[in-house]
Amino acid sequence: MRQIIFKSLVICMGCLGLANAQSKYKTGNAAKQPATKPATTPATAPATNQQKQPATANQKTGTSRYLNNNAATNNAAANTAPATTTNDPATTTASTANVTVRYDTTIAGAFDGKVEQSLRNNYAVERNLIKDRKPLEYDYIREDDQFWSQFVWEEIDAREKINQSFIYPGKDDNGDQRFFSILLSAIKNDSVVAFSPDNDMFRTPLTADQVSNLTAGSLDTVEVADPVSGTVEKVITRRPKFSPDSVYTFRLKEQWIFDKESSRMYCRIIGIAPIAKQVVGGKSQPRTLFWVHYPDLRRTLVKFDVYNPKNFAGRMSWEELFESRFFSSYIIKSTINNPGDKYLNALIKDPLFRLLEGQNIKDKIFNYEQDLWSY
């Protein structure tokens, strides 16, 4: 009897627990339903209002990134519509006609090298000898007395210490003292004829204007764009002033002759050519400006003194410098064992070996003269 009563109590307690569990589960769901409504309603409503207000305000300026798909589609259609109809050549000409091309003429292109005379004597003594100088006459060599002869092409690099007189930027009564300026002065003022740089045979003469164009600076084009729209409003074309310091290499064409009548070796300079550096494709390349016949240039060189760092009163003329060979040079080409008439840079790629080969050519000329004598 007691067991029956105990089982009945257990069954009743189980039913009460199940009822409480179901009621608690229902109240939990009922509590969640009102919580979702305020969370959903305030979240969606402000988000919709915040998105529409900037889009409406920025549609006036056309720079909004919050535009809806319809507005973006309409703007894209509006922008592409004129593009499809701008095939008229008149429209293209009108758009390009707004660009103004202006040439800057405030900077001269070529190196003028004008001589500015001093109004007073720039020295403590009168210097009259330089005005009366004349080049010495060459020793006459008969054609039949040429026992041996070779041609040699050399280059003078003014960046070497012994050759720094070639780029001395001093001023004197007769003008700029750079050697390149002396060449230009001889062409413009002393009627020395310059020849085309195409070859060293002195075949095509050049006028003074053509020489000025060769020594002119390269054109530099600058586009000026609007900072807001980015469209090009004007194009400025200018020509920078040519600097004589950019020419520091000079090429010499020489002929070495052994005269059997006087039994001595002569070196006669045939021509001089200034070499400028030209940038092509981002690379610097040498460019020959013009050739000058050296015998025609001698009467000008005697009137210009060479800078002497030791004694300013003991200066020599440029004609004396070349005749005494008071400069350093390296050979780039010769007619000795050169049936292909090629430069050394075409035969030897290594620059150090090219210098050694040039020195070897000098030794051959020197040894040839020495071997003619017996001691």
Contacts of 172 (CB under 8 A, 6+ apart): 122, 305
The string of pLDDT tens digits covering residues 63-110 is 444 444 444 444 444 444 444 444 443 333 334 445 565 554 444 444
- With contact defined as beta carbons under 8 Å apart, do 303 and 130 qualify? yes
Q: What is the mean pLDDT of the chain?
A: 76
pTM, entire model: 0.65
Percent of the chain having pLDDT more than 90? 43
pLDDT at 159 over 50: yes
CB atoms within 10 A of CB 250: 21
* Segments making up each domain of the chain, as ranges: 141-328
Give the angle 150-154-157 at the CA atoms, nearest 5°.
165
Residue 58's identity, in one-letter code, is N
The string of pLDDT tens digits covering residues 97-151 is 455 655 544 444 445 556 667 778 888 888 777 778 899 899 999 999 999 999 9
pLDDT value at position 82?
45
- With contact defined as beta carbons under 8 Å apart, do 107 and 239 qualify? yes
Burial of 267 (0-12, 13-18, 19+ CB in 10 A): middle
**Residue 270 banded pLDDT, cuts 50, 70, 90:** very high
- With contact defined as beta carbons under 8 Å apart, do 184 and 215 qualify? yes
Burial of 20 (0-12, 13-18, 19+ CB in 10 A): exposed
